[in-house]
Amino acid sequence: MAIIALATGGFGIGTTEFAIMGLLSDAVEQLDVSLAEGGHLISAYALGVVVGAPLLAVVGARWPRKRMALALMILFTVANLSSYFAPDYGWLLVTRFVSGLPHGAYFGVAALIAASLVAPTMRARAVAWVMLGLSVANVAGVPLATWLGQQFGWRLMFVFVAIIGLLTIVLITRYVPFERAAAGSSMRRELGALRRSQVWLALLIGIVGFGGFFAVYSYIDPTITQVTGLPESSLPIIVGLYGAGMIVGNILGGRLADRSVLRSIYGCMAAVAVVLLIFSWAVQFVWPAILLVFLVGAAGATLVPALQTRLMDVAGDAQSLAASLNHAALNVANALGAFLGGVVISWGWGLTSPAQVGAGLAVLGLFIALISGRLERQRPQASVDASTEQRSGAK
């Protein structure tokens, strides 16, 4: 029940992050702004994630994890409710930014709580179950919030999300056990994670490797309608298939990472590269395209539990900051994939080219992961060599 409580918060976060995309046309019409300005409401949220993940994790370093999770969910709930009451575009932009601030820090602390509740051999699966809330949001929360917004006004989406936030607060209060903050916890110790090369390598794997997933996801609308030839009415089904693939991949990724985190990352990166290459060719055919959409979602989501667990493994005693940075990295990956996909389309390479760019990013992510693994294998040997030299000097 504690993990379900934490996953409920992920469900709310995923809903508010993605539902605005389906209601953007209604929002810009009522706010009397351009579509590009409306897009800034999405960017403001992503910027909030990138800023809030490290900032709030460091600020809350000395807090007990349950108290931190509750504080972040209260901030999330109030910010979304404020979006409903925002009088104009400027205020809505601010509230969207504030809504994004708790995103990464919440998933970070939720992952740490979940991992502490199970045996060491099941840590990645516990993390995956928390992240599952984000995947389920794409299948259930986003369509429901979009329908509510279309029927009763686009701002009602924020009330729906705030209700999910309130439910999460109640569930965390009731079911998540209280544990005191770790001895010696401090801002300085959390910032020490940034001195670890393996932390930066893990973040780079996420930024570069997961960027390939977003290179395709960002342009799925024109790709499916113009290349595959499916009608626009099929897009909710296509997006739902992405979400279903993410659910399957998330569960599978947790099991694989519990066996071996690094080997799981190697395999996932290779799978993403292969699936995206096949997608770039098969998307012109209807049924292969539909299957590949599911597989792209699954392959990308398989990577998330492994990356989250990897950051927790290499962070040492700076767990909170490192765990929260995973979602900041994934939001940077979102921006990188969308940007590079847009660049190759503008060069006239066609709507299948983002998938090819994505495959290249996945290969680069695999290369970074291999470097990380090699450095980790060399470190114990370096310690042995240093000890041998010290003993020789003593003699």
What pLDDT, on the 0 to 100 scale, is given for residue 384?
A: 33
Q: Where are the domains of the chain?
A: 1-183, 186-377
What pLDDT, on the 0 to 100 scale, is given for residue 97?
A: 93
Over range 370-383, report the average pLDDT: 76
Least confident range from 80-84, 317-321, 335-339: namely 317-321
To 5 degrees, how large is the angle CA 188–CA 265–CA 282?
A: 135
For domain 1-183, give the CATH number: 1.20.1250.20
What pLDDT, on the 0 to 100 scale, is given for residue 328?
A: 83
What pLDDT, on the 0 to 100 scale, is given for residue 188?
A: 66
Measure the CA–CA gap between 81 and 77, rounded to whole angstroms. 6
Measure the CA–CA gap between 352 and 349, rounded to whole angstroms. 8
What pLDDT, on the 0 to 100 scale, is given for residue 178?
A: 81
* Common-topology check for domains 1-183 and 186-377: yes
DSSP string, 211-248: HHHHHHHTTHHHIIIIII---GGGHHHHHHHHHHHHHH
CA distances to 163, 193, 252, 341 from 333, in Å: 29, 21, 22, 12
* Beta carbons within 8 Å of 390's beta carbon, 6+ residues apart: none
Give the three-state DSSP class for 273: helix
SS (H, E, C) 240-269: HHHHHHHHHHHHHHHHHHHHCHHHHHHHHH
Over range 167-196, report the average pLDDT: 78
- Determine phi and psi for 285, rounding to 5 degrees: -110, 135
DSSP state of 86: -
For the chain, how many residues are written?
A: 395
Over range 189-214, report the average pLDDT: 84
pLDDT tens digit sequence for 83-125: 999 989 999 999 999 999 999 889 888 988 898 888 888 888 8
Measure the CA–CA gap between 340 and 212, rounded to whole angstroms. 9
DSSP string, 152-217: H-TTHHHHHHHHHHHHHHHHHHHHSPP-PPPTT--HHHHHGGGG-HHHHHHHHIIIIITHHHHHHH
Give the three-state DSSP class for 334: helix
Task: Flag whether pLDDT at 19 surpasses 90.
Answer: no
How confident is the prediction for the chain on average, in pLDDT? 85
Task: Flag whether pLDDT at 12 surpasses 90.
Answer: yes
Measure the CA–CA gap between 104 and 193, rounded to whole angstroms. 16
Task: Flag whether pLDDT at 189 surpasses 70.
Answer: no
What pLDDT, on the 0 to 100 scale, is given for residue 131?
A: 85
Measure the CA–CA gap between 54 and 59, rounded to whole angstroms. 9
Q: What class has domain 186-377?
A: mainly alpha
What pLDDT, on the 0 to 100 scale, is given for residue 360?
A: 94
Other beta carbons within 10 angstroms of residue 223's beta carbon come to 27
What pLDDT, on the 0 to 100 scale, is given for residue 382?
A: 42
CA distances to 125, 136, 279, 329 from 305, in Å: 8, 15, 24, 14
What pLDDT, on the 0 to 100 scale, is given for residue 381?
A: 44
Tell me if 272 sits within 8 A of 303, measured CB to CB: yes
Over range 69-80, report the average pLDDT: 95
Measure the CA–CA gap between 124 and 157, rounded to whole angstroms. 32
* Beta carbons within 8 Å of 89's beta carbon, 6+ residues apart: 31, 32, 33, 37
Is 187 buried (19+), middle (13-18) or exposed (0-12) by CB count in 10 A? middle
Over range 286-308, report the average pLDDT: 91
Task: Flag whether pLDDT at 282 surpasses 70.
Answer: yes
